[in-house]
Structures are given as structure tokens and as C-alpha cells.
Amino acid sequence: MKIKPIKTEKDYQNALHRLDEIFDAKRGTEEADELEILSILIDNYENENFPIEMPDPIEAIKFRMEQMGMKQKDLEEVFGFKSRVSEILSKKRKLTLDMIRNLNTKLHIPTEVLIQDY
């Protein structure tokens, strides 16, 4: 087991190939240890080189509404007023701290997504 840091695309491809070869390693074996270390190295390389950006807060709300089968009127209790729902979803009004808390609690949208600028 010779593991080295992943510094290049070629190193990354080789690591993925090796990971595929030992993917079903039995616990407690040297290959299982190699699998665990390779997984960490690959994850670090991917996080540095292929970062995933946070979604737009309003797009996240719309996506969650679609997932939950919700309509705009279902957000009235979250935002307080019927008119406020369309203002928020059309980006004419910013989310308030109370709205962010309600969205986090009721729709389970992470606060780190909701507090971003849009």
C-alpha cells in the first residue's frame, strides 16, 4: 500500500481507479485501510478543485416548495402576509431574520443558504 498525495488530475484519476479496485475490501484488512485513506484524499482534492456553490436562497425556497408540493399561498404563514410571498419570490423584498428562521424550521432549508445575498 503506497499512498501519496493527490496533486494533479492524473493522480486523481489513478486514485479513483485504485478506489474502484479495492471498493469491496473487507474490514480490518490493509486494503480497507487504504480505501479509507484514499477516500479522504479524493474528497479533499474534489473539495479544492470542484467546489459546489451554494444555491440562490430564492431558488432554494422554490425548489423546496416543489419538493413538498407547496403553492405560494402555503408560504403565507412563513412570511406573514400574502403580498409578501410574491414580493420575496420575485426578489423585490429581502428575507428578514424571522422569515429565515421560519423557513429553516418549517421547510428545513439550511440557514447558511438563506442568509446569502441575492
Average pLDDT score over residue span 81-108: 93
CA–CA dist 19, 38 (Å, integer): 7
pLDDT at 2 (0 to 100): 80
CA–CA dist 107, 113 (Å, integer): 12
What are the extents of the domains in the chain? 9-49, 57-114
Tell me the three cell numbers of residue 41. 484524499
Say if residues 42 and 15 touch (Cβ distance below 8 Å): yes
pLDDT at 102 (0 to 100): 94
| 3-class state of residue 71 by DSSP | coil
Over residues 22-46, the pLDDT tens digits come to: 999 999 999 999 999 999 999 999 9
24: number of Cβ within 10 Å: 9
- Which has more confidence, 56 or 77? 56
CA–CA dist 33, 26 (Å, integer): 10
pLDDT at 1 exceeding the cut of 80: no
CATH no., domain 57-114: 1.10.260.40
